[in-house]
Copies of this chain bind each other. A is one copy, B any other.
Amino acid sequence: MTEQPTRRRPTLDEVAERAGVSRTAASRALNNAPNVSRDKREAVLRAIKELGYVPNPTARALATQQAGAVALIISGEDPAVLADPFYGQVIAGASTVLEETDLHLVLCLATSARGQIRVKQLLRTRAVDGVMLMSLRGDDPLTSLALAAGVPAVFGGKPLHGQVPYYVDVDNVLGARQATEHLISRGRTRIATLTGPLDTDVGRARRRGHLEALTLAGLPYRAEEAGDFTERGGMAAMEALLARHPDLDAVFAANDNMAAGALRVLGRAGRAVPADVAVIGFDGLAVSEITEPPLTTVHQPIRNIGREMTRMLLALMAGERPSPLILPTTLVQRDST
């Protein structure tokens, strides 16, 4: 039945005619704008129902000069970035906010040369009314591109270089400092860190917080290894760390994935956690609850990040000038420290 020659869908003109009013009036009734008498409004509504009329979003977009969509742009060198549940959470948060509007979410992975070009196009053609950008690396050209495009843009996490006016972030420095201070409070003195990529703001900020805590406590021990925020990368980094600093008694991993990897490596190496080595993570992802042992971690409200980015974008699109937002982190004590 669906194969029937797809009878052309009714237009607003037909609705107007059937209701015996002008197209203008029909449009007003449709959008329940003022200046339509009660009678006509009802007549139009009835006609709409009878005809099964559905407004054409493209035509509306052309007339109103609004795309009716916002984009979430995820950068990174590998399409596998999405394997990180982190983004899933952000997307979920964004979705819940967008559900309340009539904006669609277009997802762009700027993970290949081709992808970057597509994003550029998206920005230039103004195919969306606003964009959210995430996980930009050091001098990601997307940053300036987005800023220059004149499209409302909010960033998830500050880009490493360049100031951006609108962003949502968590206090990475403070969170990391709390993490390391927690380890210190447990009596650890040879505290190593598995950092994130150091060409990202989040990677550096967490490292900085860690170092601040060490300095403040007057601890001279320094040991670190860079990871890539994946569990696998965390394993490799932990192995390297263990080889170079076999005497470490605690590890601050810059995220839970890497912490989970570290736990495995420590387990295989025969180090008891937390007896021999205490481990703390960052994120508060589901994985942190089910590691062996359950992971103490610095929890960040990821879903909220998506939600707040979206709210900020909506505000921006509405002509407001929202302030950057720094979300708080909280230490969640479990069994690995």
Scan A59-73; emit 1 where CB is below 8 A from any B CB, else 0: 101100001110010
CA–CA, A286 to B125, complex, Å?
37
Scan A283-303; emit 1 where CB is below 8 A from any B CB, else 0: 000110110100000000000
Q: Are B58 and A79 in contact (CB under 8 A)?
A: no
Q: Given A107-B107, A125-B57, A267-B292 in contact, is the A114-B88 Cβ separation under 8 Å? A: no
Q: Are A268 and B292 in contact (CB under 8 A)?
A: yes
Interface residue count on the A side (C-beta < 8 Å): 66
Q: Which candidate, A23-31, A33-41, A98-106, A192-200, is the interface stretch facing chain B?
A: A98-106
A278 to chain B, nearest CB (A): 20
Which positions 1-20 of chain A face chain B at CB distance < 8 Å?
Answer: 2, 6, 9
A147 interface hit (Cβ, 8 Å): yes
A287 to chain B, nearest CB (A): 8
Q: Are A112 and B96 in contact (CB under 8 A)?
A: yes
Which residue of chain B has its CB nearest to the CB of A82?
B88
Q: Are A106 and B109 in contact (CB under 8 A)?
A: no
Q: Are A104 and B105 in contact (CB under 8 A)?
A: no
Q: Given A124-B54, A290-B261 in contact, is the A89-B83 Cβ separation under 8 Å? A: yes
Q: Are A106 and B69 in contact (CB under 8 A)?
A: yes
CB-based closest 3 A-B pairs: A82-B88, A79-B92, A83-B85
A334 interface hit (Cβ, 8 Å): no
Q: Given A56-B125, A59-B62 in contact, is the A108-B106 Cβ separation under 8 Å? A: no
Which residue of chain B has its CB nearest to the CB of A122?
B104
Residues of B within 8 A of A121 (CB): 102
Scan A238-277; emit 1 where CB is below 8 A from any B CB, else 0: 0000000000000000000000010010011000000000
CA–CA, A264 to B290, complex, Å?
8
Q: Are A57 and B268 in contact (CB under 8 A)?
A: no
